[in-house]
A and B are shown apart, each in its own frame.
Chain A
Amino acid sequence: MDPEHLMNEQLESFRYDDAIVRKFLIATFVWGLVGMLVGLLIALQLADPAFNLGISWLSFGRLRPLHTNAVIFAFAGNAFFCGAYYSTQRLLKARMFSDLLSSFHFWGWQLIIVAAALTLPLGFTQAKEYAELEWPIDIAIAIVWVVFAVNFFGTIARRRERHLYVAVWFYIASIVTVAMLHIFNNLSIPAGPLKSYSIYSGVQDALMQWWYGHNAVAFFLTTPFLGLMYYFMPKAADRPVFSYRLSILHFWTLVFMYIWAGPHHLHYTALPEWASTLGMLFSVMLWMPSWGGMVNGLLTLRGAWHKVVEDPVLKFFVVAVTAYGMSTFEGPMLSVKSVNALAHYTDWIIAHVHTGALGWNGFLTFGMIYWLLPRVFQTKLFSTKLAEAHFWFGTFGMLLYVAAIYSAGLTQGLMWRAFDETGRLQFPDFIETTVKLLPMYWVRVLGGSLYIVGMLLCGYNIFRTWMARPKTYEEPVIQAPALVKRAPAPEHAPAGQPGNLWATFTSVRWHRKWEGLPVTFTVLTVLTVVVASLFEIVPTFLIRSNVPTIAAVKPYTPLELAGRDLYIREGCFNCHSQMVRPLRHETERFGEYSKPGEFVYDHPFLWGSRRIGPDLAREGGKYSDIWHVRHMEEPRSIAARSIMPPYPHLSRQKLDFDGIQSRVDAMSMLGVPYGEAVNHAPAIAREQAGAVAAAIAEQGGPRGLEDKEITALIAYLQRLGTDIKKPTLTLGDAPAEGGR
């Protein structure tokens, strides 16, 4: 058909690098197990606070981010790299661009994970979900990610197959988008070696964070794994994907739509309504490509369903793709405002993400691992039976987990909004709605344990397979023709008349030219996500009316700022929201709903995403200072059935007054009007701490707290949500008296 092409063909010899695949495979398993064991521990802590063990760095608020980061970036991340290094080389018929860069990528990523595992329990956090790691680690992530990108695009440049298979497209989109999301969400001003403040505040920070958070799910947990699915599913089923056309359509629709959907995490918050409606619309539209992808994955097994009975790899894949379908059905549903009003802040969201993480990411990874094991270790899989057992343990564990947490979410959501016949809240005591969930939390512990038992079986299988490996691995020489520099002549004569615009447009050349230009392709993909992002984000930054200011809202005092940083260090935002939605049951329960203008000095925003405890947006003045001291010391001395961890160390540890200055300075660099506090922050803080400690002593509490951390935290909590209650002068030119 193409004689010129055949004649020019010259076979080149090369070898694939599977050593890097083996490394990432082991790392995937090890970190997966660690991340899920931490998950089990925090599940136990919610079922019974005794599991906080009275150790500050093992308490729920510190470990919850460790669990999410470990599962997302360590487990799913390494799984993506493992599968990408295996499949990319084979799809492009080229060894990775540089073994050194591959190695740097591997060890760099593992070091970052270790750094996360150390800093998060110690309380170093940016308080942004899935972006908790502090700025030096963020820089390291950016460097390692760029190294990965160079290695990846270098391989593309040296490829011997002209067409980039759709899996590679998914990898490209993931790599470039994650880089963009990571950099822009983590822009911050350092206030110390492991402390920084987001350059955005309040509403803008929230929008940035959920633009990031949503797309981290999209481009770290969805598109990379779709790439893996489009490679490993056909491999395991030994037949091409059901519809290649559909897979390309799947790719472009996801890239076009995903980036717009972030605001659905912020319904009924102080975010402007147009932004959340936009997020909702795009989320609902996403349902179509997602289900197209799911159907495409499942139909790849057409005529091969009998294989599913015998092959655990396909079993894992079938459940994974089904879980993808379930969670991408649920996602758009949850993004509908009225559903979101019920589900937001409840365990329903936790159930949703675990369908995705345990089902989609977990099972796709396990299927891939079992498929890879005999190939990369060049021996037989130790035991298919054990793999089958893993599958059933995992499936039942996941079902138990999700069913229990679903019902927990619905139960709590319905209890929050229940009114009795006299028009008052039926469950005015928040703790009633939490205690009700405890039986379901125990079922979650059981489900999670079953899932982990399955993983242990997997670990044993990996270990025994690895033991049976050959002394030296074979590295077969592969031969493939070099890529002809220019695109080969079209195989078919263009349809229609020459010069016909339609014919030119639809002719193969157009497409060929594109494929020959992966850089162009990448630029187009980047443009797509950048344009969508700008459209979503820029207006809140630039159009004043979107964040109306409130004259009475003043910056936090230096002591309150230090208290806020303690609130961040202890991870309080993991269980307490600071956002009263304009819904009747919320204003009844918590007080006046939150306004966008209240958060203009909140770097970062602390709206939270889950209410395991009550909302704190209007906490200021609700209880006395002494109440807070006792409550922090031992929550169960105030509320017998509370599941909050105790924080006795706050009353013992000394507050670092001198360190407050650099924090105030960083804040004032961000434009927070600190006035004279810029030079005298420690002195001002000491003065306020003395007043707080005196008040505590006066109320009959312990003496000598003026230099302890608890005073700062109480100062902050007592300030929360009080500004708008202060009388303001006429809005406009005369600035109101404020602050304390």
Chain B
Amino acid sequence: MKLSDIMGNSGLALYAEIALVLFIVVFVAIVVQIFATRRSDMDRQARLPLDDGERPAKENKPVKENHHD
């Protein structure tokens, strides 16, 4: 008896369906979370590439606190 015989006869199809449901649930949870995040947080995060701290130190100015808009 090969592994494929054992697995083929053990009725695992249900697990595949459970996995699919879990998969979708996790995905929906992520989507909800994305839409629940505050706009101000999102805006700050979106600006990260533009606020990359590339400011020569010789200017000797305090680096802007990026966490607040």
Contact = CB atoms under 8 A, between A and B. Distances in A.
Interface of A: 1-2, 5-6, 9, 11, 13, 16, 87, 90-91, 93, 161, 163, 165-167, 230-231, 234-235, 238-241, 244-245, 248-249, 252-253, 256, 476-481, 491-492, 505-506, 508, 510-511, 528, 531-532, 535, 539, 541-545
Given A90-B54, A245-B34, A478-B55, A535 B46 contact: no
Contacts of A161: 48, 66
Given A542-B4, A544-B4, A506 B57 contact: no
Contacts of B32: 505-506
Interface in B31-69: 31-38, 41-50, 52-58, 62-63, 65-68
15 contacts: A6-B65, A90-B52, A93-B52, A163-B48, A234-B46, A240-B46, A252-B27, A256-B23, A476-B55, A476-B58, A478-B53, A505-B36, A506-B33, A506-B37, A532-B23
Given A11-B63, A165-B48, A245 B53 contact: no
Contacts of B34: 245, 248-249, 252
Mostly, the B contact residues are helix
Nearest to B47: A240
Given A476-B57, A543-B7, 8 more contacts: A165-B45, A235-B50, A249-B31, A256-B27, A478-B55, A479-B57, A505-B33, A508-B41
Contacts of B67: 2, 5
In the complex, the 8 A-B pairs of residues with the closest C-beta atoms, listed nearest first: A506-B36, A542-B7, A244-B46, A90-B52, A477-B57, A240-B46, A476-B56, A165-B48
B43 A244 contact: yes
B51 to A, nearest CB: 9
A161 B54 CA distance: 14
Nearest to A252: B30
B27 A245 contact: no
A72 to B, nearest CB: 26
A440 to B, nearest CB: 42
A539 B11 CA distance: 11
A541 B5 CA distance: 11
A248 B46 CA distance: 10
A244 B41 CA distance: 10
B4 to A, nearest CB: 5
Nearest to A11: B63
Contacts of B3: 542
A511 B34 CA distance: 9
A196 to B, nearest CB: 23
A259 to B, nearest CB: 11
B14 interface: no
Contacts of A11: 62-63
A90 B53 contact: yes
A588 to B, nearest CB: 35
A252 B48 CA distance: 20
B20 to A, nearest CB: 7
A90 B35 contact: no
B19 to A, nearest CB: 6
Contact of A91 (B38, B48, B62): B48
A545 B7 CA distance: 11
A167 B49 CA distance: 9
A238 B23 CA distance: 37
Contact of B54 (A478, A505, A531): A478
Nearest to B29: A505
